[in-house]
A and B are shown apart, each in its own frame.
Chain A
Amino acid sequence: MPRYVALIYSAEADTPPSQEEWDTVMVEYNEFGAKAGAAGVVAGGEALHETSTATTIHVEGGKGGEVITVDGPYAETKEALGGFYLLDCADLDEALEWAALIPGAWHGYVEVRPCIDFG
């Protein structure tokens, strides 16, 4: 069965969400997790700390070269990757249907990408 990754993007707030806001979003995510989990669609997924915790590295001059380490995400954008799900679905239509149930789809955007099958 094809596997898709649903990448969840949203604007990072300057101030942390209030307990109430946090709880509301968590309820939404738990709801999605229970529904997609019961359907056997979710093959994995993580929520990520915000981009201020990201570190980006690049090996300069090919394999074995100098490791350049930079504080921050690879690309500074208004909407940042905040988490992802791995979804096993029959086809893109099914993957998009599930993606539209991820709370990130209304708090921000969800990008759906097919994973390469090396099988």
Chain B
Amino acid sequence: MNLEETIRIEGGRVLATLIRFAGDIHLAEDAVQDAVVAALGSWDTDGVPDNPAAWLTTTARRKALDRLRRESKRSVKEEEAIRLLDEAPPPDDGRDDRLRLIFTCSHPAIDPTSRVVLSLKTVCGLSAEEIAAVFLVKPGTMRQRLTRAKAKIRDAHIPYRVPEDHELPERLQAVLVTVNAVFTAGHHAARGSFDSRVDLSEEGIRLARLLVDLMPDESECQGLLALFLATHARREARTAADGEMVLLADQDRTLWDHAAIKEASALVDRALRRQRPGPFQIQAAIATLHGLAPSYDSTDWSQIVQLYRALERLQPSVVVRVNRAVAEGELAGPDVALDLLEGVESDWHLLWAARAEMYRKLGRLEESRRCLHRALSAEVNESDRALLEGRLVALASIES
């Protein structure tokens, strides 16, 4: 492993530990940065130490103390930080510190967008510039958002702790939602295609792996990781050579990452055996069933329909209803799907795209065309737009 990789991997653990000692993300970041600069200097000549994380932690602690002592006016809080930094016990693998940090970054007192950004910064170690690039905002705007969130954690004393058991269901949910938002931002860029060297889907998978590692008894963590793996496994087949999106039915299944699907399937089995089903486990089970089907026609629709019904009971939403209707349609015909969408009101373009598809299958082409226009009038990203416009062209060719 080269020096930069070592620093990126160990840096996250060291930062989490330092944040606990210093009680201040900003000071901890500066101190870890100082320690990294020192490491680049001395590791090059003396070689990488046996325990790089311990070396970085000790050095960063010393740098944090230096920084605190250099400041002439010290508040009670800083004295307390100095005491903690001085008394710090030898570092463990930073496991619990990272878990504390993930919960702090997803605290309900922080606004949901900032939770995602803060996790990418502190847990994944991405820079403000990298995060700004993937969210298509100016680096200055991103730095401001990060500064505000870090200041709130410090000034309002948002604690670094793993919630108690009785609080865990609610608080864990916020963490899972944050990590899911990281993954989904990579999977579905909000608008247009984006050009960035950071792959948010892979960062999401990294975070989910960390959660499974840190909380092996929480089956929803396994469900989340399995969902990501099974979804990400199809990425090569999702985009055609011309950059357009390929739908599940039309994908070349030899392009799928079958090793990842197998891992997802094993995770789902293990999670479901605990008999504490949750929305992420159910979605992972659906994604895995799609992944295991040798062809679209041989998909196990009856089981997928059962899973969508269970998901809708747990988490009713327009998105779940549309997905369920499509699956029920595959099993029982398009008129059944249309009945399920009866009365559903939303501007979500895929609701209208699903209706359009059902009408097309029933030969009601004029209604299908109207639904496609309705879908295109909503906010739609470029690849979905191309797909919907393609369907309009195809409809016209049937009609003529």
Interfacial chain A residues near B107, Cβ < 8 Å: 92
A91, CB-defined interface residue at 8 Å: yes
Inter-subunit contact A92/B76 (CB<8 Å) = no
Inter-subunit contact A119/B75 (CB<8 Å) = yes
Bound together, the chains give a CA A104 to CA B155 distance in angstroms of 24
Q: How large is the interface on B (under 10, 10 to 19, 20 to 34, 35 or more residues)?
A: 10 to 19
**B78 (CB) vs chain A CBs: closest residue:** A119
- CB 8 Å contact bits of A95-106 with B (1 = contact, 0 = none): 010000000000
**B79 (CB) vs chain A CBs: closest residue:** A119
Inter-subunit contact A117/B158 (CB<8 Å) = no
A83, CB-defined interface residue at 8 Å: no
- Chain A residues within 8 Å of chain B by Cβ, number: 12
A90 to chain B, nearest CB (A): 8
B159, CB-defined interface residue at 8 Å: yes
Interfacial chain B residues near A113, Cβ < 8 Å: 156
B80 to chain A, nearest CB (A): 11
Contacts A92-B109, A96-B109, A119-B76 hold; do A114 and B159 have CB atoms under 8 A apart? no
Bound together, the chains give a CA A108 to CA B237 distance in angstroms of 52
Inter-subunit contact B157/A91 (CB<8 Å) = yes
Interfacial chain A residues near B158, Cβ < 8 Å: 91-93
Bound together, the chains give a CA A114 to CA B107 distance in angstroms of 16
B148 to chain A, nearest CB (A): 14
Bound together, the chains give a CA A90 to CA B158 distance in angstroms of 10
Which B residues, 156 to 171, have Cβ-Cβ distances below 8 Å to chain A?
156-159, 161
A45, CB-defined interface residue at 8 Å: no
Contacts A92-B109, A96-B109 hold; do A114 and B157 have CB atoms under 8 A apart? yes
B226 to chain A, nearest CB (A): 31
- Give residues in A with beta carbon < 8 Å to B: 2, 90-93, 96, 112-114, 116-117, 119
A90-B159, A117-B76 given; 5 more Cβ-contact pairs under 8 Å = A2-B157, A93-B159, A93-B161, A114-B155, A119-B75
- Give residues in B with beta carbon < 8 Å to A: 75-77, 107, 109, 155-159, 161
